[in-house]
Amino acid sequence: MYTEDDYLMLSGIQHFYFCKRQWALIHIEQSWLENSHTVEGQILHEKTDNPFIKESRKEIFLSRSVPVSSAILGLSGIIDTIEFRKDEEGIRIPGKTGIWKPTIVEYKKGKQKKDDRDIIQLAAQTMCLEEKLNIKIETSDMFYFKTRQRKTVSIDESIRKEVLEMSQKMHEMYNQQYTPKAEFFKNCKECSLYELCMPRITKKRKSVENYLYNIEE
């Protein structure tokens, strides 16, 4: 169990999945360069609107920008949108009559990614919300603006285990204030920190320095 002082940013888990060095540059060294991907993403998050749901419907309501945290994961952050539907498997909500079942709706600007970074983040959000509401949540949703697709994701035991292990590694690296070396790989081409990281040059420079000073890599 972590205390509030130890909490790391929930949104960082997608950076950690994408590249551990990127996560360390942002969350340990506080470096941040905006590129078109991050700026567009922020604008969409500010304007999130679910085209399938009207908030006035009696059996559904939305909660936006909901703060959540998990003492088990040691993460805290904000969930864009939680959709509550009247359902006997749900919970009571102060100020509302009836029983309501929550579903997270996470908005992404592009289309579904080839890797699982969005799903890892959604699973971490789900585990945080479960702790907040003291409820088991089996699925959460992703909405992709580019393809206008809403996808339901099963938050199964294997993804929960992955989130738990990843959050533990994040805390270990954070406690050691450890930033991994640059290493050029496929994700570098779409990395928002490419110019700051310079993976090809940094790697080369390190190799030359190591050769000159007889340091083993």
Q: Which residues bind ligand SF4 (CB under 6 A)?
A: 19, 21-22, 25, 182-183, 187-188, 191, 193-194, 197, 199
Bridge-partner residues for 153, per DSSP? 140
The token duo for 213 is 């000073």
**How would you classify residue 125: left for phi > 0, otherwise alpha for psi between -120 and 50, otherwise beta?**
alpha
Do 178 and 24 contact (CB within 8 A), yes or no? yes
Q: Which is nearer to ligand SF4, 61 or 184 (CB)?
A: 184
Minimum distance from residue 194 beta carbon to ligand SF4 (Å)? 4
Q: Which is nearer to ligand SF4, 21 or 108 (CB)?
A: 21
Minimum distance from residue 202 beta carbon to ligand SF4 (Å)? 8
Q: Which is nearer to ligand SF4, 23 or 84 (CB)?
A: 23
Do 167 and 131 contact (CB within 8 A), yes or no? no
CA distance 81 to 40: 18
Q: Which is nearer to ligand SF4, 14 or 22 (CB)?
A: 22
Q: Which is nearer to ligand SF4, 20 or 108 (CB)?
A: 20
Minimum distance from residue 204 beta carbon to ligand SF4 (Å)? 13
Minimum distance from residue 203 beta carbon to ligand SF4 (Å)? 9
CA distance 76 to 102: 18
CA distance 124 to 132: 13
Minimum distance from residue 188 beta carbon to ligand SF4 (Å)? 3
Do 217 and 207 contact (CB within 8 A), yes or no? yes
